[in-house]
């Protein structure tokens, strides 16, 4: 594989879902090694100045709905604007990814988990639904049990700490050589950076 791209995200994030197929396309195009690092957004937001959706001004919430429709059309997707089980507690499903990422590529599970949440109205906080998606992705349902270990809990917490230390404040955030690309709408800029091979941009002194 070529360069490493760290991906901070949560299955709770519709924007991470919207950009996931494009992310995989870029990974294939540039031979990227994807380092998936799920994070607890409810911990990241207060520590980085963000607000969870219900606390945002109504105008921001309304604009979000417009943007979801724009990007649904742009990416050629077919998803629910208000999935039946959203919002949900993503901690366990995110932890499954944390566990898998230590040993294998979790992309197939992530792809189907996103589809389950946003396209199929399934509950990815439910143990049975998580196990079913693991089977559908060709993965062993025992990953769900491994995700409940203290070791994986520590990884999930470390991901949050690393995200904040890297300057991450939302999902998805793609970090290439220390440069953050926040939001799936920055994937074109990430593609440009990878194609050009330029040095990472930094905050000037």
User: Does 30 reside within a domain?
Assistant: yes
Q: What is the pLDDT of residues 141-178, one digit of tens each?
A: 999 999 999 999 999 999 999 999 999 999 999 999 99
Q: What is the pLDDT of residues 48-104, one digit of tens each?
A: 888 888 889 999 999 999 999 999 999 999 999 999 999 999 999 999 999 999 999
pLDDT > 70 in the chain, percent: 100
Residue 43 has pLDDT above 90, yes or no: no
User: Does 204 reside within a domain?
Assistant: no
pLDDT for residue 1 = 53
User: Does 11 reside within a domain?
Assistant: yes
For 36-185, where are the alpha helices, taking DSSP H only? 41-48, 58-75, 91-101, 107-118, 127-136, 143-146, 150-165
Q: How many domains does the chain have?
A: 1
Which helix or strand (DSSP H or E) is residue 101 part of? helix 91-101
Domain around 143: 4-196
Query: What residues are labeled active site?
Result: 13
User: Does 202 reside within a domain?
Assistant: no
User: Does 103 reside within a domain?
Assistant: yes
CATH classification of the domain holding 29: 3.40.30.10
């Amino acid at each position: 594989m070529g360069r490493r791209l760290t991906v901070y995200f949560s299955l709770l994030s519709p924007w991470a879902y919207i950009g996931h197929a494009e992310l995989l396309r870029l990974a294939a195009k540039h031979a990227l090694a994807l380092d998936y690092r799920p994070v607890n957004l409810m911990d990241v937001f207060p520590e980085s100045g963000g607000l969870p959706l219900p606390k945002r001004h109504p105008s921001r919430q309304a604009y979000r709905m417009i943007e979801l429709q724009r990007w649904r059309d742009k990416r050629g997707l077919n998803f629910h604007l208000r999935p039946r089980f959203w919002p949900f507690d993503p901690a366990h499903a995110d932890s499954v990814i944390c566990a898998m990422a230590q040993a294998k590529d979790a992309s197939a599970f992530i792809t189907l988990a996103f589809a389950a949440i946003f396209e199929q109205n399934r509950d990815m906080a439910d143990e049975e639904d998580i196990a079913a998606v693991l089977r559908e992705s060709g993965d062993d349902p025992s990953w769900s049990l491994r995700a409940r270990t203290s070791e994986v809990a520590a990884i999930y917490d470390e991901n949050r700490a690393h995200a904040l230390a890297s300057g991450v404040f939302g999902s998805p955030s793609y970090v290439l050589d220390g440069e953050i690309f926040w939001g799936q709408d920055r994937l074109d800029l990430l593609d440009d950076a990878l194609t050009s091979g330029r040095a990472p941009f930094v905050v000037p002194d």
